[in-house]
Amino acid sequence: MTRYHMVLTGHLGVAERRAEAVAGTAPRHFLLELASALGGEVHEPDPEAPAPRRLLHRVLNTPPPLAALARDVAARAGDDDLVFCLGEAVALPLADELRRRGRSTRLLSFGHNLRRPRIRAAQALCGCVARIDRFFVFTRDAVSDPARFTQYTEQTDDRFFRPGDAPARNWPPRIVSVGLERRDYVTLAEAVRGLDAQVRISAFSKDARPGARTRPADPPPNWAMRFYSWPDLAALYRSADLVVIPLERSDYAAGITTLLEAAAAGCAVIASDTGGLREAFAAPDAVEWVAPGDPAALRRAISGLLGDSGRRAALARAARAAQQARHRLDARVAEMAEVLRALAG
């Protein structure tokens, strides 16, 4: 009988997160919901776990907790089992561990950014990319081999992120931006400098590190950046007149989580047109796109939408409709559970 193993890429606190989701104080997590649908076991890294540093780990820059998790999951999973990973950060070292043990365990993973040079180097070193039976990717151009790569539609929990009455506040309007991966807050800071608007930033992620353009050296006076708890983040979206997703140039779907959360909350969105993000969203016409790294163009887009409440409302409705039609957590969990059952035979 096939056992299902769901592998996280960071420490989540599974029991606590499930309790928070039930209480409505955190969004439901895709992998936890998928594990529940399949009766699977969830594995998460222990931040204190020691692990040997093999050459592959140095090539991939694998943190010791993920190396230890890969080793432990490979030891637990049988040949008839199926392992699903949240991302390549853990899937690649796990593929190597399974290869070393001679296991035929089926291994599947989301593929977020497989074009990085270190991933090509890892494949050349030990064939770990080829050992993964199926990647689920977010853009069509990432589907290099249809037999092993499947395009997947990203999701968000629209029970948690939802429209609501914004708290009463006075002028000026509020611009909100959320996220850390590939963010260009330097460009956003220049775009809003001197603008009659309040800017609120939540630049935090367990899965990404700050980049060179994450924190402006001289933020404008209307700018505030801090951590928001899950309930406060949901309220922040509801309070927004406009959500802006400023991105550095990239060829993958950085920013998709924020875009879907904002769409679910019924927000109008401006985003940097990186191509990958545009393709990952079901209704690209429901977003105002601007060229990456262009503060003047971003300022024009922001000023234009803040001055046009009708267009802002139309974009918000269209984005929300797209999220409901194509990006709902429950639908994507049911779809993925069906795919994994079929692959398990």
Residue 14 lies in a domain: yes
**Shared domain check, 146 and 8:** yes
Among 112, 65, 78, CA closest to 5: 78
**Shared domain check, 336 and 320:** no
- pLDDT of the residue at 182: 93
Residue 243's CATH number = 3.40.50.2000
- The model's pLDDT over 66-114, given as tens digits with 9 standing for 90+, comes to 999 999 999 999 999 999 999 999 999 999 999 999 999 999 999 988 8
Residue 167 lies in a domain: no
Mean confidence (pLDDT) of the chain: 93
**Shared domain check, 195 and 250:** yes
- Show the domain range for 204: 174-326
Mean pLDDT lowest for which of 145-154, 183-192, 321-330? 145-154
Q: Is 57 exposed, middle or buried (0-12, 13-18, 19+ CB in 10 A)?
A: buried
**Shared domain check, 123 and 79:** yes
Residue 124, SS3 per DSSP: helix
- The model's pLDDT over 306-340, given as tens digits with 9 standing for 90+, comes to 999 999 999 999 999 999 999 999 999 999 999 99
Average pLDDT value for residue range 30-40: 98
- Distance separating alpha carbons of residues 164 and 238, to the nearest angstrom: 6
Q: Identify the band that residue 291 occupies on the pLDDT scale cut at 50, 70 and 90.
A: very high
**Shared domain check, 91 and 223:** no
Neighbours of 87 (CB within 10 A): 18
Average pLDDT value for residue range 5-22: 97
**Shared domain check, 332 and 304:** no
Q: Tell me the pTM.
A: 0.93
Q: Identify the band that residue 208 occupies on the pLDDT scale cut at 50, 70 and 90.
A: low
**Shared domain check, 222 and 321:** yes
**Shared domain check, 204 and 131:** no
Residue 160 lies in a domain: no
**Shared domain check, 217 and 301:** yes
**Shared domain check, 244 and 309:** yes
Asked if the model's pLDDT at residue 290 lies above 80, the reply is yes
Asked if the model's pLDDT at residue 238 lies above 60, the reply is yes
Tally of domains within the chain: 2
Q: Give the tokens for residue 172.
A: 């000026």
Residue 121's CATH number = 3.40.50
Neighbours of 314 (CB within 10 A): 13
